Structure 1
Amino acid sequence: MLKNHFILGLLLLLGLPRLAPAQVYAATDPLAHTFSIVARDPATGDLAVAVQSHWFSVGTAVSWGEAGVGVVATQSFTNKSFGPRGLALLKSGKTAQQALDELLSTDDGRDVRQVSILDSKGNVATHTGKKCVDMAGHRLGAQFSVQANMMLNNTVWDAMAKAYEQNGKLPLPERVLAALDAAQAVGGDVRGRQSAALLVVRGQASPAPWDDRLIDLRVEDSAAPLPELRRLLQLHRAYEHMNAGDLAVEKNDMARAVQEYQAAEKMFPQNLEMKYWHAITLANKQQLPAALELLRPIFQQEPNWRVLTARLPKVGLLTVSAAELRQILTLK
């Protein structure tokens, strides 16, 4: 009830008639007043949308993307349908601007919407409704757009664009996070911080669509969502090294496998799982002394890893002899 009164009060302040909530706002659509960026990496073709807001779970409303199609950020008095509908319009052959125009043409709440659409070729179209809560605005650049509303001041979007352009040597995920950091550094959301999200999809769809969503990270509720989102991205990078190590093991390239596992462990030295599977791989490759050296502190810190180890031979994940298994399980 309080939420409905808050929404009605905002709509009245924006000059909309009392009947407008039935047209503009649906109970399923959040008030994602926020700042965001959509961007395409000209080198890889990958597409990203990143966002921070003082609203719970902002990534479930603002961020939309499909490999080989494009990305959408829909915010302010959010019309979540703009996400899937915008992507469908791009997929049907519409340009980013045509897709945006069509979405807005049938939306009675266009004046309180903010939305940006980027296609797989880097074309971008952005709209900031004239009744979005101040401070609100956007800036288009080469294959990217930054947009913000309900900001502390009107420097946010320019700061985002500058940061994105000046960090061209960074990988796309880190580059869009630099834009979000710049927004927060100059004031950000007037209400503060709560959630953030990062979505990256391939610029071209692959034969394995389940692998085309390269990064999908969300911080649903945090006093410092951007630092936490960056930590999650770093953890994602560490597990990329773990996956590369597993692939090297499959190819019997143990030198490369050890290199990749060590890179992951260096990034997150307190993560026992990374060390554990490194050790199990060494044991399976007849490098038991090295495996035992890694396993000893793991078992000491968390005994349940020893319990798990006893279960691995049954499913073929640990292929040591019975004597070697006893040596592992009795490790002090």
Structure 2
Amino acid sequence: MTFSICVREEYVDSDGDDQTRFGVAVTTRLPGVGALCPFASEDGAVATQSYTNVELGRKGLDYLADGLAVDDALQALLNADDEREKRQLHGLGRESTFAFSGEECRDWYGHYEGENVTVAGNLLASESVVEATAAAYEGSDRGEPLAKRLIDALAAGDAEGGDRREDLPVQSAALVVASTENQEFEPYYNDLRVDATETPMRELRETFHEARRGYELALDKYTAGDE
């Protein structure tokens, strides 16, 4: 699995209450990455990749829901995984971050850990893929939806060369955003997947724009009282 980004953002909702949102996005030169790598809930965001162990993501969110800090939760899962040196695992909880790249991951591999963002990748063209992904997110306009900014971050990494396996044309991309805010109409564009295509960044962006348009149309219709 190629490269992914996890983020945490604090914000104030329309009622003036403090909220936290989490997001994770990923792209790879294999189909169906959305079913395997990205996990997010109101408690945190986790990405599992490189000889992917899906249970690391699922159980990671379960542990966060039980109140464990993300570093304790994910390190405990890795400690119980005999193949941990083949894994990459990273993410954020309410107060902490975590990033791990096992020594048996395939070059180029590595990760970045910031205050509110983690990025990891393997089988990449170079370290600049991870650096560009993180920089694009950290410089993004918080006035835009997080889903859009996650796509922009992936696109920046892809422009630096992304996954180096150019002999594998069938690719995929996905994103998930979750929040502590209880919204009557959850935005449709916060959980998107492009499962098999040669142009994952373009198609994920197009899917986002259509999902956002559909959400705004539905919001206008149903908040006006139409049945």
The answer to whether residue 6 in structure 2 is matched with residue 38 in structure 1 is yes
Q: How does 1:120-269 map to 2 (within 5 A)?
A: 121-169=94-142, 170-192=144-166, 194-202=171-179, 204=180, 206=182, 211=186, 215-250=190-225
**Larger strand percent:** 2
- Report how far residue 42 of structure 1 moved: 2.4
Runs of 4+ more than 3 Å apart: 205-208, 210-214
Query: Against the structure 1 CA distance between its residues 87 and 148, is the aligned structure 2 distance closer, same or farther, given a 3 Å change threshold?
Result: same
What is the total number of aligned residue pairs between the two structures? 216
Task: Identify unmatched segments of 5+ residues in structure 1.
Answer: 1-32, 251-280, 282-316, 318-332
> Does structure 2 conserve the Cα–Cα contact (< 8 Å) formed by 1:205 and 1:212?
no
TM-score under structure 1 normalisation? 0.61
What one-letter code is carried by the residue in structure 1 that aligns with 2:206?
A: R
Query: Which residue of structure 2 aligns with residue 99 of structure 1?
Result: 73
User: More relative contact order in 1 or in 2 (CA 8 Å, sep 6+)?
Assistant: 2
TM-score under structure 2 normalisation? 0.88
> Counterpart of 1:41 in 2: which secondary structure?
strand
- Report how far residue 168 of structure 1 moved: 3.5
> Does structure 1 conserve the Cα–Cα contact (< 8 Å) formed by 2:20 and 2:181?
no
What one-letter code is carried by the residue in structure 2 that aligns with 1:62?
A: C
> Does structure 2 conserve the Cα–Cα contact (< 8 Å) formed by 1:201 and 1:213?
no
Query: Against the structure 1 CA distance between its residues 226 and 113, is the aligned structure 2 distance closer, same or farther, given a 3 Å change threshold?
Result: same
Q: Deviations over 1:101-122 (max 9, x none)?
A: 1011111111110011211x25
**Larger helix percent:** 1
Query: Which residue of structure 2 aligns with residue 297 of structure 1?
Result: none
Structure 1 Cα separation of the partners of residues 95 and 69 of structure 2: 10
Which structure has the bigger radius of gyration?
A: 1
What one-letter code is carried by the residue in structure 1 that aligns with 2:222?
A: L
- Name which of 57, 61, 68 aligns with 2:32: 57
Task: Identify unmatched segments of 5+ residues in structure 2.
Answer: 12-18
> Counterpart of 1:131 in 2: which secondary structure?
coil
Percent identity over the alignment is 34
- Report how far residue 80 of structure 1 moved: 0.6
Structure 2 Cα separation of the partners of residues 81 and 164 of structure 1: 27
How well do the aligned residues superpose, as a CA RMSD in angstroms? 2.1
> Does structure 1 conserve the Cα–Cα contact (< 8 Å) formed by 2:25 and 2:38?
yes
What one-letter code is carried by the residue in structure 1 that aligns with 2:136?
A: A
> Does structure 2 conserve the Cα–Cα contact (< 8 Å) formed by 1:86 and 1:117?
no
The answer to whether residue 56 in structure 2 is matched with residue 79 in structure 1 is no
Structure 2 Cα separation of the partners of residues 137 and 36 of structure 1: 11
- Report how far residue 206 of structure 1 moved: 3.5
